[in-house]
Amino acid sequence: MYNALLEAMAYQGSIRYRIEPLKDYSLSPKEKCILTGPCCDDLDVIEEDALLPNTMKIGDRLIVYDTGAYTFTLMTHFNGYPKPKVVIK
C-alpha cells in the first residue's frame, strides 16, 4: 500500500482493485485472502477479501489493474523497500 496504492488505505473499503496472478491459475479454486504489503505496519492492507487461487506460492507476482492517476506520484521508498515496477498495457 505504501509503495503506490495509498488510495487503498485512504478509502478503505470503497476502492477495489482488480487483482489477479500473473501466472495462469485458471484451474485452481479461489479463496478469500488478505492482501498486504511487505512492511510490518498494520495499515499496509490493500484488500481484505481478495479472491485469489489457493495454489499460489510465496513470490508469485500479482497484476493490479486500473490503479489510477495518483499511483505514480504516491510511490515511495517506504521503510527501505524499492518502488514497484510499473507495466502499462
Whether 39 is a known active-site residue: answer no
Domain ranges of the chain: 6-68
Which cell numbers in the block locate residue 72? 505514480
Q: Where in the chain does DSSP place strands (E)?
A: 18-21, 30-36, 45-53, 62-65
pLDDT single digits (tens) 17-38? 888 999 999 999 999 998 887 7
Our CA dihedral for 31, 67, 10, 76, rounded to 10 degrees, sits at 110
Considering only the top CATH level, what class is 6-68? mainly beta
Catalytic residue among 40, 58, 69, 88: 40
Look at residues 61, 70, 49 and name the one whose alpha carbon lies nearest to residue 7. 70
* 34-87 per-position pLDDT tens digit: 888 777 777 777 788 889 999 999 889 888 887 777 777 777 777 777 777 777
